[in-house]
């Protein structure tokens, strides 16, 4: 899974060398693409919060330690 920002960066990189996509980059469509990813990003943040609440509860009961947010990020989104 990639964050919406990672998706946007990948899209820009894919289209960067394509002459037909240059109007896409400069005519405002890139902004529309970024804005279209905001709801997805919001949903991922909500899900991460809920997962964090669950993990914290389970870890406290089972292991007596905290979940590391960076470990969670790397498991879900991979290292960048």
Structural Rg of the chain based on CA atoms: 18
> Would you kindly state where each structural domain of the chain is located, as residue ranges?
4-77
What is the per-residue pLDDT for 18? 74
Which residue in 73, 70, 68 sits closest to 44, CA to CA? 73
Quickly list H helices, the chain.
4-16, 22-26, 29-36, 38-62, 69-77
Query: Residue 23: what pLDDT?
Result: 67
pLDDT in tens, the chain (80 residues): 788 888 887 887 787 777 776 666 666 677 778 778 888 888 888 888 888 888 777 766 666 555 567 777 778 777 65
Output the pLDDT for position 40. 86
């Amino acid at each position: 899974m990639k964050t919406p920002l990672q998706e946007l960066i990948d899209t820009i990189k894919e289209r960067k060398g394509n002459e037909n996509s240059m109007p896409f980059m400069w005519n405002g469509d890139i902004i529309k693409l970024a804005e279209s990813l905001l709801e997805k990003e919001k949903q991922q943040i909500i899900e991460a919060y809920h997962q964090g609440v669950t993990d914290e509860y389970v870890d406290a009961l089972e292991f007596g330690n905290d979940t590391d947010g960076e470990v969670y990020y790397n498991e879900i989104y991979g290292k960048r």
